[in-house]
């Protein structure tokens, strides 16, 4: 068995708001039936990697996904607010159509991922700081050859991923959006550095 440690970053399953193109941010929305099915489908794939730990955002959609993964792997998940999605301030709860009708320019900035001007929103620097703090703690909790899973959210994962790898935060916009229950695999090199092994599986 290799001594290389692995981290799997998993986006939560679908919610009704995902299907409606409604902005969730940190509002607590549960998985819909499709999302539960996605979580149950991906759980055996991750369990086959024999994870030692399953950590999750404390928001319901992530917790429900993590619960399925942990159950399949014979583990008990831990919940960590540092893995939450971006807080998106005044945009939370609005549909894309509503935001477009209200302010076309603001909608285009939102679609580009330019979220700095959203009233009450977190900045990418704030999200990346908390997310990478959690992932470093997860990595530190893994023994040689062990795999850890972090269940989180699409935008927070992309932003946290590039920060964790030491890339400029702007690179997060160059990564395509993670699908529901899409996963990222990181592997640790012998140097101790981490490498991106797979994206949006």
Phi-psi region of 135 (alpha: psi -120 to 50; beta: other; left: phi over 0): alpha
Task: Check if the beta carbon of residue 152 is closer than 8 Å to that of residue 160.
Answer: yes
- Please count the other Cβ atoms lying within 10 Å of the Cβ belonging to residue 195: 12
Q: How far is CA 107 from the centre of its chain?
A: 22
Which one from 68, 85, 122, 146 is the annotated catalytic residue? 85
To the query of whether residue 116 is one of the catalytic residues in this protein, the response is: no
Phi-psi region of 78 (alpha: psi -120 to 50; beta: other; left: phi over 0): beta
3-state secondary structure at position 163: helix
Q: How far is CA 157 from the centre of its chain?
A: 4
To the query of whether residue 85 is one of the catalytic residues in this protein, the response is: yes
Question: Phi/psi at 75 (nearest 5 deg)?
Answer: -120, 170
Which one from 12, 72, 146, 153 is the annotated catalytic residue? 12
Which tokens belong to 151?
Answer: 């269940």
Phi-psi region of 7 (alpha: psi -120 to 50; beta: other; left: phi over 0): beta
- Beta-carbon-side half-sphere exposure of residue 63 (alpha carbons within 13 Å): 10
Which tokens belong to 181?
Answer: 């229950």
Would you name the residues annotated as active-site residues?
A: 12, 85
């Amino acid at each position: 068995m290799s001594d290389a440690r692995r981290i799997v970053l998993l986006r939560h399953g679908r919610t009704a708001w995902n299907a409606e193109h409604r902005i969730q941010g940190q509002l607590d929305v549960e998985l819909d039936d499709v999302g539960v099915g996605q979580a149950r489908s991906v759980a055996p794939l991750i369990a086959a990697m024999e994870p030692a730990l399953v950590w999750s955002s404390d928001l319901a959609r992530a917790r429900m996904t993590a619960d399925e993964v942990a159950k399949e792997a014979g583990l008990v998940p831990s919940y960590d607010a540092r893995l939450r999605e971006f807080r998106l301030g005044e945009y939370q709860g609005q549909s894309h159509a509503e935001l477009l009708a209200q302010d076309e320019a603001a909608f285009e900035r939102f679609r580009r991922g330019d979220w700095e001007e959203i009233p009450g929103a977190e900045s990418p620097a704030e999200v990346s700081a908390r997310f990478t703090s959690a992932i470093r703690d997860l990595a530190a909790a893994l023994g040689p050859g062990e795999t850890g899973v972090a269940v989180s959210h699409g935008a927070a994962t992309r932003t946290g991923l590039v920060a964790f790898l030491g890339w400029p935060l702007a690179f997060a916009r160059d990564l395509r959006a993670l699908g529901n229950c899409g996963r990222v695999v990181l592997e640790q090199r012998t140097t101790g550095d981490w490498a991106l092994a797979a994206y949006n599986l």
